[in-house]
Each structure stands twice: as structure tokens, then as C-alpha cells.
Amino acid sequence: MRLIIAEKSIAARRLAEILSSKVPKVVQVGSLTVYDIGNDTLVVPLRGHILNVDYPREYNNWRGVNLHQLVDAPLIYSTSAKDITDALKKLAPKAKRVTIATDFDTEGESIGREALTVMKFDANVDRARFSALTPEEVKGAFDKLVKLDYNLADSADTRREIDLVWGAVLTRFVSLTSGRLGKEFLSVGRVQTPTLALIVDREKERRAFNSEKYWVLGALFHKEKDFEAAHKTKEFKQKPDGIYEKLKGAKEGTVTKVTKKKKSLKPPTPFSTTDFLRAVSNMGVSPSRAMNIAESLYQAGFISYPRTDNTVYPDSIKIKDILKKFLQHNEFKDHAAKLLEQKKLTPTKGKKKTTDHPPIHPVELASKATLDPASWKVYELIVRRFFATLAPVCELNTVRVDIDVREEPFVATGQTIISAGWKEFYPYSKTKEVLLPPMEEGDIAQLKKLDLQEKETQPPKLYTPAALLKRMEELNLGTKATRPDILSKLVFRGYIKGTKNYEPTEIAFAVIDTLEKYAEDISKPTMTSKLEAEMGEIEAGKKQKPNVVEDSRRMLGTILTELSNNREKIAEALRAASKGTYTVGKCPKCGKDLRIITSRKTGKHFVGCEGYTEGCDVSFPLPQKGKITPLGTICESCGLPMIRVEVQRRRPYEMCINHECKTKASWGKKGSKGKKVSKGKSKQ
């Protein structure tokens, strides 16, 4: 018997349909559904990783285990999907050949090896590598089978083990030291923490920023039509009272120069994972959700593999054939036909060229009617980006008009589109036309109005998801596959808030400030980047997994010693910050702080008054699911504090803590969730 190992159920079904000469037969092996494609061959689905890496059970007691021992403690791999491992063990004695057909990346190689480990099979193993679940790609991969790359698998497992050890040791230290345990523990991670430090440091820059005044001088002219111009000195550091007085009463200006140029805007480059995530996050889809959607589109056979650094289409991609498919698509047929009219299709090229996977691109037609709105949004973006990379440049006519008013220079600029080029295919990038009236040197333009505006310099902008992903890539923080999840964890753990812009919370400041002061290496990208580079050397066969894991443990041991030597100071800083995090407002009865409290007996959350020791009995119930964040605002109706509730995979909502408030939806009743917060419109 031959077994073909797929990464997930949907991919297994797709592979079976492609590889079978007829409709594949569904077979049950225990409780696992597999696909019989004939010729004594079964396609077996996994569920991602089927082995979980963890510490032995005796190390699970946070309070009872010495953290220095935890640094060097052994790790074990245990079953995390018993139905799958039971099926693999049952099939193993009959197997004569195993083909690994998981996603082709480090994780996919590791997942494939896990199946072999469970089966205790290593005699006749091969590997199918493909970048899209299309008949051509899959059949081509099975015609050219290769060996499993154990270096890739080792690299993935190295990352899993290092991240587990670092996360466990540092999270336990910070949580125990601060007294934040249970659901409210403070997580610290090898990649997560330096990423959070970027956000905190940016907010520190903003808070330390000293705005400076400057002035801009504009003018409204008329010649056949009104048009605007600005003084040639774009920003005056001192208020230009003298110039303004000089120009008062002026009625006209003289055109001294007209400069016309043609400008070309190049089409965008093909989508790497990071470029894709940056583009989709600008459309309001979070990076983690975008990756989940892209993964589903890939497994359904609609797009190529979504985890890639490549920005150059390989010669093996039949671009014209893909475009021809879209001639049958109602949404895209006109644009596809227009691209096919070109004498030659010359795609753009980015700076990165790799050989594992091509840039993200469509491979099959998907219907708007059958995809959910978010999936269609992502699919359409990928299709239109693919079209844009094949389209001509966008051509513009630009004009600059210099106008003299009493020897003061003003400049008016305009632009018109000659040919929209790629922008016709890619509506996410828009170019605004600014039309100026026809003017020549020596013409007189009527001066209708002067406009002197006082402005202030602005602090650095908050990180957007797109900007942060780019910065993480530049600093080699995480991988294209892990970065979206890192951002989601920071939000869910209460370290950052906001969706369009990331703003750190007070506990984030406390954690980063503390670590920067007492163990700076944790909060800087240098150490993490070094480990990422070593994992890259494992992939290349230049380093061995045990050596890199051991090296990381030594680094962690040094950091833990630094932290332990300053435990009391760290505890004081973190506990002070935690208190602020739990305070929702003032008690309406005694004026003391109202705080979020977790009952030691029941584990339930509620809001209680700090004055309970002095007899104050004010308390309010809270929703028991989700993360609760004080908003620092009060209810317009009853004057009690407002909170924000975030439950994973659901839209967040805001509510008053007073369950008797007449304006607040009753969250205690089925189907009622308080005031929902639309994306991008949260008060956070």
C-alpha cells in the first residue's frame, strides 16, 4: 500500500480529486476520513502538527519548578491528534511506500516527518513539492518526486523548541514576579517582546515629541478658473508677517515660468507574503485573518501557496494561460482580455528571488457567489495585483507654474492622466488629477485670496499593521508565517489596542521598560535575529539542531540570571502597572477605585470597590468570556465606567458596567452583546 500524506483535510480531498482517475472513494480508518484513489493508494489528511512539543508533566507547576532548571529541562513530543495518530499506526504495517505531500516549507517538512515518526516508517519515503493545488502543479510534482528535506524539518522543530523554552521561562518569571497568574498572566516571547518594544518605543517618541510651529502661505488665483498655489518657501519657521503685509492689496500675479513634464508610475511588483499582508491590512483585514483566508484559498486550489518571499515570477508559470482562464470570469474578463491584447506580457520584478515558491498569484477561477465576503475581498486583491504586474506603466502629464506676486514666488502644480495603465487594473492605488488652466510665461493671473495658516510639526505616526510587518521583516523578527500571529497575540494579551493603529497599554510600557532596564537583550531584535539566522543555517545544512538549541538555552540562562538579580525592583514596577490596568474608574459610593477582581474561589471576574475593607459593598458583574479593558470613559446615561470586551474570533464591543443602566444592552441575555464596535471605529 502507498500512503500520500496531506497537511489538512481540504488539501487531502483536493489531492485525491486530482490524482484519481475517477471520483475518489471515501474510507474510514478508525474515526479518520481518508481517500482511496485506486492502485492500492490512500490519501491521508493530517491536521497540521500532530505532535506537540512540551515539557514533561513534572515541570507544569509554575510555582514549584525552579526557572533555572526549566531552562535546561528536557522536552518531549507527544500526540496532539489521537484520531490521526491512531489511524497512521493502523495503516503503518500495510504501508510499502509513503509520499509526503504537505505544504512545502519548513513547517510542512516537519509535519510530514511527524507522520513518519508516528508510523515508525523510513524505508521508502519520497516528497511531492508543489506551489499550487492545481492538476498541472500536482501531477508535475508527483512526476518529479524528491527526497524529504530533514534540514528544513530540523529548522522548524528548532524554532518550536526555542520558542517554547524562551516563552515558558520568561513568561513564568514575569508573571510570578508581578503576581499576574491564571488567565491574566503576562506573556513574554523571543519574537513577541522585541516586536512590542518597537511599538512602545514609537509611543515614547510620540510622547517626548515637542511640536514646533510653522506657517504656510497659500493663494487662490483665477485665470479662466480658480486654482491654488503655495509660496515657494513651503514652511516658514517664523511667521512671515512682513511678506504677508507686502502682499496685502495685491490684485494679480505674473506667470514667470511653465514647466511641463511626462511622468511614469511603474506597476507594483508581485506579491510576497509581507507585501500581501501589508496591502490587505490597508483594506481593513487583520494580518492573521488574511493569512487564514489565503491558506483556505490555496487549499481550495484558487491561489498559489501564500507563504513566500519571492517577488519574481519563475519562467515555469504560464502567465498567458492563467489570463485566458479569466476570460470566462464575469468580474475580470474585460481586464483579462485587455492584457492579452498586448504584444508581449512582461511582468514586473521585485528585489527578492527565491526558488521555493513563486509570488502569490491566482491559479484558478473563484466565484463571488460561493466565497464569503472577506475571502472574495482577498481573492480579488490577489487577482488584481497579478493583473497589475502585467500591465503597462501609468503615464501622467505634470505641470508646474511659477507665479510672481510683488517679487514673492508662488508655485501651482497640476497633473493629468494620459494613460491609467496598471491603475486601471488595481483600484487600490489611486492617482488624483489636478487640472490647471492653460498658462504661458507672461500671463497675468488674478489674485483672489491669500491664506496664511499656522501649523505644528507632528510626532511620528503610530505603527499600522502594514508598517509594523515591514519593520519586522527588516529586523528579521519572526518569519513570514509567524508574524501575523505575533500581532494577534499582542492584541489579545492586552499589550496593544487598536486595529488601524497600534497603541501600547500601560502594562506594555511596564513590561518593556522593566526588560529594557534589567535584561535589554530580550527587548532588542539583535538576539532574535541571530537565532533566526542560525535556524537559516540549519536549513542550509551548515549547523545542527542540538547545537543551536543548546546555544539558545545558554543565552536564556544568562538573561534569567540578570532578571533574578533584580527581582524585587521588577516586581515593584510590574505590580504598579498591573494595578492601573485593572482600575476601571471611581466608586459612585465612596470615591475609591473600582477594580476588576477575579474571585479566588470561583475564578469569576467582577468589578469591586477597593474600599471593601472599610465596608463599601459596591460591585458589578462582568461578562465571563473575553478580555476586558477599561476605556477610561463614562456612560452618558448613568455616569459609570465603560469597558471594552474582546472575545477571540468575534467583533469587540463596548458596554457600561452597570447592568441596570437603561441605555446599555443586557449582555446577560442570549443574543445581546452590548454596543458592537465597527472595524476601525473603536474608541481605542
Q: What is the pLDDT averaged over residues 258-271? A: 96
How far apart CA 550 and CA 675 sit, in angstroms, is 50
For the residues of 474-533, what is the DSSP string, one character each?
A: HTT-S-TTTHHHHHHHHHHTTSEE-SSSBEE-HHHHHHHHHHHHH-HHHHSHHHHHHHHH
- Residue 561 scores a pLDDT above 60: yes
Q: What is the pLDDT averaged over residues 90-116? A: 96
Q: What is the pLDDT averaged over residues 227-235? A: 96
- Residue 211 scores a pLDDT above 70: yes
Residue count of the chain, please give it.
684
Domains of the chain, first to last: 2-46+81-148 (3.40.50.140), 158-208+469-574 (1.10.460.10), 213-267+394-456 (2.70.20.10), 273-390 (1.10.290.10), 585-676 (no CATH)
Question: Which residue did the predictor score with more confidence, 134 or 180?
Answer: 134
| 253-262 confidence digits (pLDDT tens) | 999 999 999 9
- Residue 457 scores a pLDDT above 90: yes
The confidence band for 680, taking pLDDT boundaries of 50, 70 and 90, is very low
Torsion (CA) 481, 484, 485, 491 in degrees, nearest 10: 170
Alpha-carbon Rg for the chain in angstroms: 30
pTM for this prediction:
0.82
Q: Which of 79-93, 208-222, 456-470, 508-522 has the lowest mean pLDDT?
A: 508-522
Q: What is the pLDDT averaged over residues 71-100? A: 96
The confidence band for 677, taking pLDDT boundaries of 50, 70 and 90, is very low
pLDDT at residue 574 in the model: 81
- Residue 576 scores a pLDDT above 80: no
Q: Cell digits for 331? A: 468580474
- Residue 683 scores a pLDDT above 90: no
The confidence band for 580, taking pLDDT boundaries of 50, 70 and 90, is low
pLDDT at residue 668 in the model: 40
For the residues of 69-126, what is the DSSP string, one character each?
A: HHHH---EEEES-HHHHHHHHHHGGG-SEEEE-S-SSHHHHHHHHHHHHHHT--SSEE
| 139-155 confidence digits (pLDDT tens) | 999 999 999 999 999 99
| 308-323 confidence digits (pLDDT tens) | 999 999 988 999 999 9
- Residue 405 scores a pLDDT above 90: yes
Residue in 35, 305, 463, 582 annotated catalytic: 305
Q: What is the pLDDT averaged over residues 581-587? A: 79
Query: Helix (H, G, I), strand (E, B), or coil: what is residue 428?
Result: coil
Share of the chain above pLDDT 70, in %: 95
- Residue 659 scores a pLDDT above 80: no
Share of the chain above pLDDT 90, in %: 71
DSSP 315: T
Q: Which of 180-184, 205-209, 382-386, 460-464 has the lowest mean pLDDT?
A: 180-184
pLDDT at residue 500 in the model: 86
- Residue 362 scores a pLDDT above 90: yes
Closest CA to 306 of 379, 217, 371, 415: 379
Q: What is the pLDDT averaged over residues 350-370? A: 91
pLDDT at residue 125 in the model: 97
pLDDT at residue 681 in the model: 32
Reply yes or no on whether 305 is catalytic: yes
pLDDT at residue 81 in the model: 94
Query: Which H or E run contains 620?
Result: strand 619-621
